[in-house]
């Protein structure tokens, strides 16, 4: 018995942060950002991580033809939970009314969706759960220093979700590779989302901001994706030529292009939506998966590779033989509340909070 994807959906908040907007905040320009990252705009959320997750979850459940009470396991992958206890998954469980679901958060940073898929599939094949709702949701702008051009251009907010259920027909997850390298972990750190340091460091802007070595992460990512995809495809008993669609983590278009080239993958088979979404960590792959289904990249019976790398550092890939259904069974009218603020209004708290770090160089 295998675990297969039966529903999918995403939620992007309405407010765009364009490269032109960023030009007003930091010393950058559209050409640099597009050439180095492929990003034109990203979304900034006016609501909490749970709100994004809730809408994506309703859409995925409707696509699977299920009600929240049908779910018996809810896994939420995130590095920006709204709260750590109760877990964000439990907050979401209450919000959805998924009263029959066990619920927990999973943190593997940008690889969270892949770790979550592996966990969900194992729960199903191991007989622990039957219908798993997996959500990847992030409000990354909350930890972003919008004076720091080296990080703030990259990330955006959003959520994606999927339902996994048992399959008897041979479709489902057929190969998985997961890995981590804690030694390289200091290349990407959110210091104050944990107990490290003094209590007062929670309010210390230097401790709070993302610490990040972009070039180191870039190299780790390209090599990591290549090796991980090869291992997962091998474990599925397939070769790279059998792969019909690749859904990579959207961190940088150059990373996707370089890794695809090393793998010899036809760019037409690779889903890229980074131009409009930026890097949304654990939400990135499920949002790209939903776009791949909506755009027809994934056809019935397709061999689909999902792959990611991220903080930890962590990496992972899954290979799924997609089922016969590539269209939703139903749709949901769930939607976010309207936003009446500009993107600059939404970013003002971050600008104020981090301003002391940049008193002598307003745009570093
Ligand atoms: C962050 C990243 C885009 C930087 O691209 P890069 O080509 O490595 O650029 P560099 O860091 O070498 O910077 C080159 C120059 O551009 C400057 N620069 C950095 N950010 C800039 C910006 N937003 N606008 C304009 N110039 C910028 C740097 O200061 C540097 O100037 P210098 O040569 O005068 O010192 C890239 O390293 C990356 O995408 N890394 C992976 C990041 C990631 O996705 N992490 C999350 C993984 S889940």
pLDDT in tens, 34-89: 999 999 999 999 999 999 999 999 999 999 999 999 999 999 999 999 999 999 99
In whole angstroms, give the CA distance from residue 5 to residue 132: 10
Which of 276, 91, 78, 85 minimizes the C-alpha distance to 161? 78
**Is pLDDT of 201 > 90?**
no
30: domain CATH number is 3.40.47.10
For the question of residue 279 being annotated catalytic, the response is yes
From residue 222, alpha-carbon distances to 77, 104, 302 in Å are 22, 30, 24
Asked, for residue 348, whether it belongs to a domain, the answer is no
Assigned domain for 209 exists: yes
**Domain assignment present for 336:** no
User: 110 an active-site residue?
Assistant: yes
pLDDT over threshold 90, residue 212:
no
Answer yes or no: 100 catalytic: no
DSSP tag of 192: T
- 355 occurs within a structural domain: no
Q: Which of 24, 215, 256, 288 to mutate to test the pocket of ligand 1 (most atoms within 8 A of CB)?
A: 215
In angstroms, the CA 231 to CA 225 distance is 10
Q: Kindly state the average pLDDT of the residues 243-258.
A: 97
Residue 357 lies in a domain: no
| Domain contains 351 | no
pLDDT band at residue 360 under the 50/70/90 scheme: low
Of 252, 273, 279, 350, which residue is the catalytic one? 279
pLDDT of residue 341: 97
Residue with CA closest to ligand 1 atom 10 = 215
Helix (H, G, I), strand (E, B) or coil at 61: helix
* Local confidence band at 192 (pLDDT 50, 70, 90 cut-offs): low
Instruction: State mean pLDDT over 175-184.
Output: 95
Read off the pLDDT band of 259 (50, 70, 90): very high
Q: Which pLDDT tens digit goes with each residue over 87-101?
A: 999 999 999 999 999
Per annotation, catalytic residue among 110, 141, 208, 273: 110
Question: In terms of residues, how long is the chain?
Answer: 364
Q: How far apart are CA 311 and CA 289, in angstroms?
A: 21
The answer to whether residue 300 is domain-embedded is yes
pLDDT for 364 beyond 60:
no
The whole-angstrom separation of Cα 80 and Cα 195 is 15
pLDDT level of residue 210 (50, 70, 90 thresholds) = confident
Please check whether residue 137 lies inside any domain of the structure. Answer: yes
Residues 321-348, mean pLDDT to the nearest whole number? 97
**For the chain, what is the domain count?**
1
Q: Which domain holds residue 266?
A: 2-328
- Please tell me what DSSP assigns to residue 201: G
High-pLDDT (> 70) share of the chain, %: 98
Can you tell me which atom of ligand 1 is nearest the CA of 249? 48
């Amino acid at each position: 018995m295998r675990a297969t994807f039966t529903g999918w959906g995403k939620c992007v908040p309405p407010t765009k942060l364009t490269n032109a907007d960023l030009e007003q905040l930091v010393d950058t320009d559209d050409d640099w950002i597009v050439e180095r990252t492929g990003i034109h705009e990203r979304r900034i959320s006016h609501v909490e991580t749970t709100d994004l997750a809730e809408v994506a979850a309703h859409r995925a459940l409707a696509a699977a033809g299920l009600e929240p009470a049908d779910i018996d396991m809810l896994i939420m992958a995130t590095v920006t939970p709204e709260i750590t206890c109760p877990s964000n998954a439990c907050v979401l469980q209450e919000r959805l009314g998924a009263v029959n679901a066990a619920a927990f958060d999973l943190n593997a940073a940008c690889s969270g969706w892949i770790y979550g898929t592996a966990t969900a599939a194992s729960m199903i094949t191991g007989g622990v759960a039957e219908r798993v709702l997996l959500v990847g949701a992030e409000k990354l702008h909350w930890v972003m220093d919008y004076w720091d051009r080296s990080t703030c251009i990259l990330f955006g907010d959003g959520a994606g979700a999927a339902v996994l259920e048992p399959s008897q027909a041979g479709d489902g997850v057929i190969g998985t590779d997961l890995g981590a390298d804690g030694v390289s972990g200091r290349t990407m750190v959110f210091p104050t989302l944990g107990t490290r340091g003094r209590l007062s460091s929670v309010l210390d802007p230097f401790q709070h901001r993302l610490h990040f070595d972009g070039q180191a992460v870039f190299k780790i990512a390209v090599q990591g994706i290549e090796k991980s995809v090869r291992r997962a495809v091998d474990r599925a008993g397939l070769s790279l030529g059998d792969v019909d669609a690749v859904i990579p983590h959207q961190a940088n278009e150059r990373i996707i292009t370089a890794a695809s080239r090393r793998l010899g993958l036809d760019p037409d088979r690779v889903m890229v939506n980074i131009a409009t979404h930026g890097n949304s960590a654990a939400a990135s792959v499920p949002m790209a998966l939903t776009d791949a289904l909506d755009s027809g990249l994934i056809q019935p019976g397709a061999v689909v590779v999902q792959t990611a790398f991220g903080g930890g550092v962590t990496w992972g890939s899954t290979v799924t033989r997609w089922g016969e259904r590539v269209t939703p069974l139903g749709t949901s009218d769930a939607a976010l509340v309207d936003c009446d603020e500009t993107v600059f209004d939404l970013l003002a708290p971050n600008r104020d909070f981090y301003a002391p770090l940049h008193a002598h160089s307003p745009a570093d």
